[in-house]
């Protein structure tokens, strides 16, 4: 059903090649997250799948059918846009009914589907309001409601949470994950926020300059990044990289250690440095340490630690969780 | 937040401008009202006297008044129809990315800068003239008898000329409104299964509603007083076939030199314009809210 296959899909806007050629398998019922820095082509890739952009080469297969040259309406996909793209002059009810009306459904079916969707999304009380009278989270839910009434093969989300404030974002993240568990429909979700990717995804696709850097489950990417880009992008706070003499000791071009895998001590350790800023979060403390000849190194210490600005400290990397990279940035 | 002091100060500082504008309006208006109750004919100087409602009775029972009323409404309605429909279509066309977009847009806007007298003369002599006009030439090319537009369809011809000069205005406003339409909305509608026609009806037109009301409001204000095009082309004729209220007032005052009667007509025109304005402002106000 909701199985999507991309074969050597490429996209160029004039001379600018955004996606040089990319293969990807998305299995039925999977929650796939495209993640990458801005301008990496993740939104373009989503729009190619949606049919809102024409592909420059390759083929797109949805639910066993070649959809490469099929219009967006006929692909059986629903999309939730970053701006929600609600129709401002229509009530919530009419917004949700719009795709059904366009599909020529009977009023009975429309009413029933709206009732179902609004119950699932807690929108029953707002059906007669206009989008302008709703809060950000409610608008988001209307956009999702408009997507689910069509019972699509797959849902496409284009950075749907980036317009919400932090607290609401965490809530909506849970709601979308919950929705996925209930509907079991394939979902493709685009975000630049690796926390969203880690928390929601069954499978993460890390994109960089239009290329797939790595595909895998969140923990796979965290524990076994294939290259330096993925290692630095996945995980928060980001991984520390050491180059030069420190790396030569381990027989590689660079080594990467996550902030949570560095042991901090005030009297002994492998590397020495001076404490810069310490950020106290309560549960953790992030200590920025200046190591001569290196970038500032971040160490994550559980609970609190009694160090202050300018103190001399020592760090010891955990040999098991250390990542080694060669000159091309590949994992050794 | 405006405090009481700043409000008072603001009113004080605005007062010179407001008083000037008020005087500008109130003095001619009261003079017109005064004249409308006078027997005042320029051909008979020295016979001015109080006439009571005579001028009004005379103007309102004149058969020309009713045809002028009808012509005014037809002219305004016709031009509004042509400019709004044409403006939407031109706007949609110009919204597409085309080669030489800037020049095309300037060309489309150009008629708005042509003076009414000039555009009417050009239309009269170069297009609609039954002997030398372009339309006559085209008709002859296909073997038809040339049609004398200004003699046989005077109001229609005037409507076309005025619509031609107002089309750019409508196009310009509607084009900017079209450009402010969120492209994600169109894409969302597309994904929801709406074809181009449905997108236009359900997404684009409702989005344009506000701009269309603005066009209707502004154009109505100006179109109620169309004058130059009629003077230059048909002189209100044949008969009263293309006489609107403004032209009727003019002919009363400056062709029959009846200042009193013309003033009464002017006051009636002002009252009618205000009735239209009240309705329009209500509709527009409703549409501009939210």
* pLDDT, tens digit (0-9, with 9 covering 90-100), for B30-67: 999 998 888 888 888 877 888 888 888 888 888 888 88
Task: Calculate mean pLDDT across residues A13-30.
Answer: 87
Residue A180 pLDDT more than 70?
Answer: yes
Is the distance from CB of A227 to CB of A213 less than 8 angstroms? yes
A133 touches chain B (CB under 8 A): no
pLDDT score of A138 more than 60: yes
Q: Is A83 on the interface with B (CB under 8 A)?
A: yes
All residues of chain A having their beta carbon less than 8 Å from the beta carbon of residue B198 are: 102
pLDDT at B262 (0 to 100): 86
Check whether B74 has a pLDDT greater than 70.
yes
Residue B1, pLDDT score: 56
Q: Predicted confidence band at A136 (pLDDT cuts at 50, 70, 90)?
A: confident
SS3 of residue B53 by DSSP: coil
Structural domain boundaries, residue B89: 35-42+51-288
Does the residue B84 lie in any domain?
Answer: yes
Looking at the predicted structure, is the pLDDT value of residue B237 above 80? no
Instruction: Tell me what pLDDT residue A123 has.
Output: 85
Q: What distance in Å separates the CA atoms of residue A296 and residue A294, rounded to the nearest whole number?
A: 6
Give the pLDDT score at B88: 94
User: pLDDT-derived band of residue B89, with 50, 70 and 90 as boundaries?
Assistant: very high
Q: What is the pLDDT of residue B31?
A: 92
Supply the mean pLDDT for chain B: 87
- pLDDT reading at A90 higher than 80: yes
A-B contacts (CB, under 8 Å): 59
Cα distance between residue A230 and residue A194, in whole Å: 11
CA distance A102 to B194: 6
* Residue A103 in contact with partner chain B when CB distance is under 8 A: yes
pLDDT above 80: residue B287: no
Average pLDDT over residues A252-264: 89
- Looking at residue B75, which CATH number applies to its domain? 1.10.3720.10
Map tokens 């000791």 to a residue. Answer: A249
- What is the mean predicted confidence (pLDDT) over A206-222? 90
Please tell me which of the candidates A52, A81, A102 has its beta carbon nearest to residue B194. A102
High-pLDDT (> 90) share of chain A, %: 14
Closest CA relative to residue A120, chosen from A173, A179, A189, A184: A179
Q: Which of helix, strand or coil describes residue A241?
A: strand
Nearest of A52, A159, A140 to residue A95 by alpha carbon: A140
Nearest to A98 among B192, B195, B206 (CB): B192
The answer as to whether B94 is a domain residue is: yes
Instruction: Identify whether the C-beta of residue B194 lies closer than 8 Å to the C-beta of residue A73.
Output: yes
More confident residue, A154 or A293: A154
pLDDT at B177: 92
Cα separation, A72 vs B140, in Å, equals 51
Residue A108 has pLDDT above 80, yes or no: yes
Give the pLDDT of residue A1. Answer: 60
Query: What was the pLDDT predicted at B4?
Result: 79
Residue B17 placed within a domain:
no
Residue B106's pLDDT band (cuts 50, 70, 90): confident
Q: What is the mean pLDDT of residues A278-289?
A: 89
* Cβ neighbours of residue A97 closer than 8 Å, sequence gap 6 or more: A110, A114, A149
Report domain A237-325's class: mainly beta
Note whether residue B240 is domain-resident.
yes
Q: Residue B218's pLDDT is what?
A: 87
pLDDT at A217: 92
A189-203 pLDDT, tens per residue? 999 888 889 999 999
The stretch A112-120 carries a mean pLDDT of 88
A50-78 residue pLDDT tens? 888 888 888 888 888 888 888 888 888 88
Cross-chain Cβ contact B198/A102 below 8 Å: yes
pTM of the model: 0.78
Contact B192 A77 (CB under 8 A): no
Contacts of A51 in chain B (CB under 8 A): 191
Higher-pLDDT residue of B2 and A214 is: A214
CB nearest A85 (choices: B187, B209, B290)? B187
| The token pair that represents B17 in the structure block | 């401008």
**B24 occurs within a structural domain:** no
Rounded distance between C-alpha atoms, residue A242 and residue B128, angstroms:
84
**pLDDT number for residue A215:** 92
Q: Look at residue B289 in the predicted model and tell me its pLDDT.
A: 64
Residue A74, CB half-sphere, CA atoms under 13 Å: how many? 9
**Number of compact structural domains in chain B:** 1
Q: Where are the domains of chain A?
A: 4-232, 237-325
End-to-end CA distance of chain B: 23
Q: Output A303 or A228, whichever has higher pLDDT.
A: A228
Say yes or no to pLDDT of A275 above 70.
Answer: yes
For the cut 90, the answer to whether the pLDDT of residue B168 exceeds it is yes
Q: Please say whether the beta carbons of B95 and B227 come within 8 A.
A: no
Q: What percent of chain A has pLDDT over 70?
A: 100
| Contact status, residue A231 vs residue A208, Cβ threshold 8 Å | no
How far are the Cα atoms of A168, A192, A272, B208 from residue A92, in angstroms, in the given order? 20, 29, 60, 20
- What's the rounded mean pLDDT across residues A85-93? 89
SS3 A21: strand
- pLDDT reported for residue A304: 80
* Average of per-residue pLDDT across B67-88: 93
Cis peptide before A237 (omega within 30 of 0): yes
Give the total residue count for chain B. 290
Interface test with A, best of B97, B183, B184, B192 (most A CBs within 10 A): B192
Question: Is B187 within 8 Å of A150 when comparing Cβ atoms?
Answer: no
Report pLDDT for B258: 83
Q: What is the pLDDT of residues B203-217, one digit of tens each?
A: 899 999 889 988 988
- Model confidence at B290: pLDDT above 60: no
Mean model confidence pLDDT for chain A: 88
CATH top-level class of A4-232: alpha beta
């Amino acid at each position: 059903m909701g199985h999507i296959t991309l074969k050597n899909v490429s996209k160029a806007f004039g001379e600018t090649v955004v996606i040089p050629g990319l293969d990807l398998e998305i299995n039925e019922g999977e929650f796939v997250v495209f993640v990458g820095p801005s301008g990496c082509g993740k939104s373009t890739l989503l729009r190619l799948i949606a049919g809102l952009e024409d592909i420059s080469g390759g083929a797109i297969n949805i639910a066993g059918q070649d959809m490469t040259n099929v219009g967006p309406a006929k692909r059986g996909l629903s999309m939730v846009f970053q701006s929600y793209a609600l129709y401002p002059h229509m009530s919530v009810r009419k917004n949700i009914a719009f795709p059904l009306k366009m599909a020529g459904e009977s009023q009975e079916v429309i009413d029933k589907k709206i009732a179902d969707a609004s119950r699932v999304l807690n929108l029953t009380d707002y059906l007669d309001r206009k989008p302008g009278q709703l809060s950000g989270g409610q608008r988001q839910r209307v956009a999702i409601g408009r997507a689910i009434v069509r019972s699509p093969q797959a849902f496409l989300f284009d950075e749907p949470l980036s317009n919400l404030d932090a607290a609401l974002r965490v809530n909506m993240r849970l709601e979308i994950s919950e929705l996925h568990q209930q509907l079991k429909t394939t979902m493709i979700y685009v975000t630049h926020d690796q926390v969203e990717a880690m928390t929601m995804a069954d499978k993460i696709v890390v994109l960089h300059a239009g290329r797939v850097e790595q595909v895998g489950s969140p923990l796979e990417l965290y524990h076994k990044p294939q290259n330096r880009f993925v290692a630095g992008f996945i995980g928060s706070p980001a991984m520390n990289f050491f180059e030069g003499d420190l790396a030569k000791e381990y027989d590689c071009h660079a080594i990467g250690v996550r902030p949570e895998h560095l042991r901090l001590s005030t009297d002994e350790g492998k590397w020495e440095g001076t404490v810069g800023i310490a950020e106290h979060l309560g549960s953790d403390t992030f200590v920025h340490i200046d190591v001569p000849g290196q970038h500032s190194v971040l160490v994550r210490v559980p609970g609190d630690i009694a160090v202050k600005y300018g103190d001399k400290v020592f760090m010891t990397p955990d040999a098991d969780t250390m990542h080694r990279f060669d000159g091309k940035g590949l994992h050794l | 937040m405006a405090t009481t002091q700043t409000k008072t100060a603001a009113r004080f500082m605005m007062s010179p401008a407001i008083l000037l504008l008020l005087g500008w309006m109130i003095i001619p208006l009261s003079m017109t009202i005064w004249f409308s109750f006078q027997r005042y004919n320029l051909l008979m100087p020295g016979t001015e006297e109080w006439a009571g409602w005579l001028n009004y009775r005379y103007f309102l029972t004149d058969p020309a008044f009713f045809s002028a009323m009808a012509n005014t409404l037809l002219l305004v309605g016709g031009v509004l129809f042509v400019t709004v429909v044409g403006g939407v279509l031109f706007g949609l066309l110009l919204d597409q990315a085309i080669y030489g977009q800037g020049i095309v847009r300037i060309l489309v806007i150009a008629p708005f800068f042509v003076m009414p007298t000039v555009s009417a003369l050009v239309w009269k002599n170069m297009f609609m003239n039954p002997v030398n006009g372009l339309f006559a030439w085209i008709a002859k090319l296909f073997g038809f008898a040339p049609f004398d537009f200004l003699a046989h369809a005077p109001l229609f011809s005037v409507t076309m000329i005025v619509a031609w000069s107002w089309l750019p205005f409508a196009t310009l406003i509607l084009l900017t409104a079209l450009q402010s339409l969120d492209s994600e909305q169109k894409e969302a509608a597309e994904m929801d299964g709406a074809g181009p026609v449905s997108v236009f009806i359900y997404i684009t037109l409702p989005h344009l509603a506000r701009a269309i009301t603005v066009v209707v409001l502004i154009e109505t204000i100006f179109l109620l007083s169309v004058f130059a095009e009629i003077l230059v082309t048909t002189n209100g004729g044949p008969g009263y076939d293309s006489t609107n209220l403004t032209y009727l007032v003019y002919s009363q005052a400056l062709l029959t030199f009846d200042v009193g009667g013309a003033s009464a007509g002017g006051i009636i025109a002002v009252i009618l314009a205000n009735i239209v304005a009240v309705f329009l402002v209500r509709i527009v106000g409703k549409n501009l809210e939210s």
